[in-house]
Amino acid sequence: MIRSITISVQNPLRVAKALAEIWEGHLLPFLFLPHTYIVLAKDEWGTSIEIYPADQPPEREDDQAIASFYSFLAERPAATPEPIPVSANLVHLRAIAQREGWHLVVQGRIVELWLTSQLKLELLPRGAWYAETFELNTLCAA
C-alpha cells in the first residue's frame, strides 16, 4: 500500500527537513515547482509527503496555474486519515516538535503532530504497541 500525503505550509523547506528527520527518509526538491519538496520515507509502504508553499506568488506570469494550486492547498484544513508509522520514537518526536514550535498530543499509542492550527499528522512512533502488533506483513500472513 502506497501512502502519499500532500500538505501546504509557510516554510516548506524547514518542514520538509523536520519530516525527513522523523521518517529517517530522503528530502528531494521538485524540479518544476519552486519551493516545493517531497520527503520519501525509508519504509516498505512507499510513504511520501509532498510539501508545497502556502500562498506562493507566481515567479513568472505563466505560473498562475501553479499559484492557484498552491492557494487551493493552503485553504484546506488537513489531517491524515490513519496513523502513519514513523522511524522516530516518542522522545525524538517530542524533541523535534519542541524545536519546530509544533504542538504534540499523545492519544494512547497515536501521536498527533500539529504543524499548524489546521494541519495535523497522526503518527505511530517506533516502539508503539499498535505499530509492532499490526504491521502489514502480520496482517497479510493471517
pTM of the predicted protein model = 0.73
Spell out the residues 6+ positions from residue 99 whose beta carbon is closer than 8 angstroms to its own: 18
Q: Tell me the pLDDT band of 52, cut-offs 50, 70 and 90.
A: confident
Write the pLDDT tens digit of every residue in 81-127.
668 888 899 999 999 999 999 999 998 888 999 988 778 888 988 77
Tell me how crowded residue 89 is: count the other CB atoms within 10 A of its CB: 12
Phi, psi of 119 (to 5 degrees): -125, 110
Alpha helices in 29-107 (DSSP H): 64-75, 90-100
Q: What is the largest CA-CA distance in the chain?
A: 56
